[in-house]
A = this chain, B = another copy of it.
Amino acid sequence: MNVDFCARIKLDGDSPIPLYSQIMESLRKAVECGQLRPLEKLPSEREMAESLNVNRLTVRQAIGELVSDGVLMRRRGLGTYVARQKVEQGLNKLTSFTEDMISRGFIPATKLLELQIVPADKRVSQALGMSLDEPVIAIERLRLADVEPMALEMSHLPAARFPGFLLRNKELAYKSLYEILRVYYRVTPTVAMETLEARLATVKEAALLKIHYGSPVLQRERVTLDHEDTPMEFVRSLYRADRYKFMVRMGK
């Protein structure tokens, strides 16, 4: 079965995305979607290298990063395996909306409302550590759970750091934002500072979320930092109070 799996990976040598990165994403996806199950054995590095027509070191690089991410694990003399499911931890993990909804048993969906480059206002520039009016990519999305509106999300990214982002608007429809940032720009979120507060929905917000004007909403603001602790994203999300509870573990 693994042989089939390996043969199904398609690599594009002319793509600007490095081969090892393509392999890495294929493996990561296979693990995420359950195509590769926990503790399942992968083909050997030499086998994969041969069947993918790349050097063994290239495969090793892909696997190596997944190992350090905790997705795979290696055993000398035995082989490479999918890591055990992570049980604990779930509560303070940095999750995307998609992951969050799935873990709550919902089927997530997204509707892209707006995607444009705008000058940073005071709040955004301060959160991202940039100057006022510097260009930021503004993404407004309506997030659905089981077809019903769940949240309204406004993401802001420093435009200078993600050139050509607007051209990827189609991918935003079916790919996670973080996946795009990881694959095309090699940027991975590491920590986030979040604030939560309660307020009332405006007329426009209420209409989009399909709630009554004046209904309570949970406003969540998040500054996401990359591995160098540089702000890479500022998100303001508005969750329907009747459908969403934020959960977190404190202490320890």
Contact = CB atoms under 8 A, between A and B. Distances in A.
B193 A247 contact: yes
A250 B191 contact: yes
A194 B248 CA distance: 5
A245 B192 contact: no
A182 interface: no
Given A193-B91, A196-B218, A248 B251 contact: no
Interface stretch (A103-111, A129-137, A169-177, A197-205): A197-205
B194 A70 contact: no
Interface string A214-252: 101111001000011100000000010100111111111
A94 interface: yes
B198 A241 contact: yes
A158 interface: no
A198 to B, nearest CB: 4
B228 A84 contact: yes
A68 to B, nearest CB: 5
A117 B94 CA distance: 40
Given A196-B196, A196-B246, A94 B241 contact: no
A29 interface: no
Interface in A81-136: 83-84, 86, 91-94
Contact of A83 (B86, B91, B200, B228): B228
A251 B192 contact: yes
Contacts of A222: 250
Contact of A68 (B68, B94, B244, B247): B68
Given A84-B228, A198-B199, A249 B73 contact: no
B73 A190 contact: no
Contact of A92 (B68, B83, B92, B196): B92
A138 B222 CA distance: 35
A191 B94 contact: no
8 contacts: A70-B227, A94-B252, A190-B252, A193-B249, A195-B246, A198-B198, A198-B219, A198-B239
Interface of A: 65, 68, 70, 73, 83-84, 86, 91-94, 189-200, 214, 216-219, 222, 227-229, 239, 241, 244-252
